[in-house]
Amino acid sequence: MSINLGNKELLLDSESMIVTETDSKGIIIFASKDFCKYAGYSYGELVGQNHNCIRHPFMPKIAFKNLWDTIQSGKKWSGIVVNQTKTGGYYWVKAMVYPSQNQDGTTKYISVRVMPTKNEIEDAIKLYKTIQ
């Protein structure tokens, strides 16, 4: 693909399971070991940050608007997302994001990400190029 997304692509393997949880505003309240590994941050650096700290500039704004509209209406969102690492690298994921509840009844959001296929990445690149 003839787009430059960053200085280094990290490839997930089929075992990778990247999980985060946020509060209702998108502030990270939990990050799995794999999330810290790929994003390149320590757990302590991530918890308390807005989830947009790993946003890659290639991702169209509308994708995240769609994500938030979907989860705030109580539904599950899935999509192919490219994220930026702390050192300017990038990694593609197949993400699922869904609402859940804390014990006190307040809303939290959970995201689980796995390895996307090559085709899924290529289709996402084509689509995102048209809606930049």
Could you list the residues that contact ligand FMN (CB under 6 A)? 20, 22, 26, 51-52, 54-55, 59, 61, 64, 67, 81, 83, 97, 109-111
Residue nearest to ligand FMN (CB): 52
Distance from CA of residue 20 to its chain's centroid? 9
> Is the CB of 59 or the CB of 115 nearer to ligand FMN?
59
| β-sheet bridge partners, residue 20 | 31, 111
> Is the CB of 54 or the CB of 121 nearer to ligand FMN?
54
- Say how many C-beta atoms besides its own lie within 10 A of residue 132's C-beta: 10
Torsion from C-alpha of 66, 24, 94, 46, nearest 10 degrees: 130
Q: How far is the CB of 62 from ligand FMN (least distance, A)?
A: 10
Q: How far is the CB of 42 from ligand FMN (least distance, A)?
A: 17
Q: How far is the CB of 81 from ligand FMN (least distance, A)?
A: 5
Q: What's the burial of 51, exposed, middle or buried (CB within 10 Å: 0-12/13-18/19+)?
A: buried
> Is the CB of 83 or the CB of 122 nearer to ligand FMN?
83
Give the SS3 label for residue 60.
coil
